[in-house]
Every structure is written in C-alpha cells, then in structure tokens.
Structure 1
C-alpha cells in the first residue's frame, strides 16, 4: 500500500517527484544525522494497525482493522530552498491532504481520512511536519 501512496503523491504534487522515501531511508537519515538539502523531502511511514473485534467461522477469519500512515515532511530551514518551502508550508500541507483524503489505493474497505497534522520536533536547522492518515481495511484469512 505504501508504494501506491508514494506513487500518487509523486504524480499529483510536482514538488515531491523523486523526493519521497520510506522507513529505511528515514531511519538511515535519523541515525547518520544527514540532513536533506534543496527544499522539501518527504517520508511515507506506516505508523500502526489497530484491530477491532474479529469473526471466525469454519475455514475463515475476518477482522476489521484501521491502518495508519504518516507523511513526514522535512526541510532545512536555513537554506534558500528551505525558506521557499517554509513560505508555502500551509498550502503544501493542504495539497497533500487533498491528494490522499478520500482516496483508496486498492481494495481497502474505506478511503484515507485525515487524522491529524502538526509540526514535529527536529534538530539542526530542520523543520518537520507530520500528516497522519488512516484507512479502514479488513483482514481475511482462509484456511
């Protein structure tokens, strides 16, 4: 599912084309403290799955679940490209919300809904912003 989210963001928001990474790259950046340069960098991360009451019948198990993802934006607030990104942060966040809210990447039961969006703590001249979405889905296990 995350690959489809990345593809949609890159297709719909030109500023994010070839500037989105996943959890491995995010972890590497945090461990090495290598700062993104040249404007905004985005990371699409799975942030959790919450299950509800399941139902088991002979040969099948189904359970409603809610998957949550985050789009984390990072930009250096001390370079020219970063300053340009900061100047339009509100509009940029609104573009991401409009691109994902109400959309489903495949056969999920629901569509993405906005959960929350806020500035997150960062260091070393970075500005971080996290936008969280959730989508209802269903586990289907057949034996």
Structure 2
C-alpha cells in the first residue's frame, strides 16, 4: 500500500527537526551545553535592551508559562539575566549575557555551516529557492472551508 504524501506543515516540521538535531549534535560535539529548540528560539526574539517574558511568549506564540520555563532554564545556565524594567516597576526584562551572546553567535555560525551541508545535499539552487520561497510574504492566514 502506498502512503499518501506528507502535507506541507509536516514536511516543514521534519525539516526544522533536521536542523534542530544537527545543531544540537554539533553544539554538543563542540563542548557546548545543548539547548532545547524552545530555548534556542528565545534568543531570536529578545530585544538588545531586554524583553519581558509576556512579550517573549507573544512573539514565540506560546503561553507565558512555557516562555517562563524556557527563560528560567537559560537563566540557570547563565545565558540570560533578569534586570528591572525602567518603564515599569512591576516588570523585569530578560537580556542576553556575554556568555549567552557567545553561545548564540556560535550557534548562528554552526547553522550557517549546516545550511551549507543541506545545499551540498539538495543542490545550491534548490536551497536558494527554498530560502526565497520561505521569505516571500504570505499575508494573513486564510480561513477556508474544506470541500
């Protein structure tokens, strides 16, 4: 029996998992403490001056509790720090530490090499086309009726 082709969201999730696994294994091989995918995503959404956990949760598309758990793991590793929010006495800002910046830069450089490995495997043109397609504007998510 032939299996139906995976839908695009499953294919994209599989591709992301491939990158996550390659990054985790590469960072571990380099002697770095491996981070979860959620922890790694936190770095992409932090403002240089700091970001509240509530804003991080919104940007990540997760609950505050989930964002809080990711942040606390990174605080414990010394990759993030909490500082008072000058705009609000009630809030605290989450910022990257010097060690966090070092690890983040290493991860970004590693991802560049992993992208190169993917381009070697699927072809440079296919990799460039994939990157281009994923950067095109998609607009608001559509609301559709199934046939």
Higher helix share: 2
Which TM-score applies when normalising by structure 2? 0.35
Q: Which has the larger radius of gyration?
A: 2
Q: TM-score, normalised by structure 1?
A: 0.35
**Which one has the bigger strand percentage?**
1
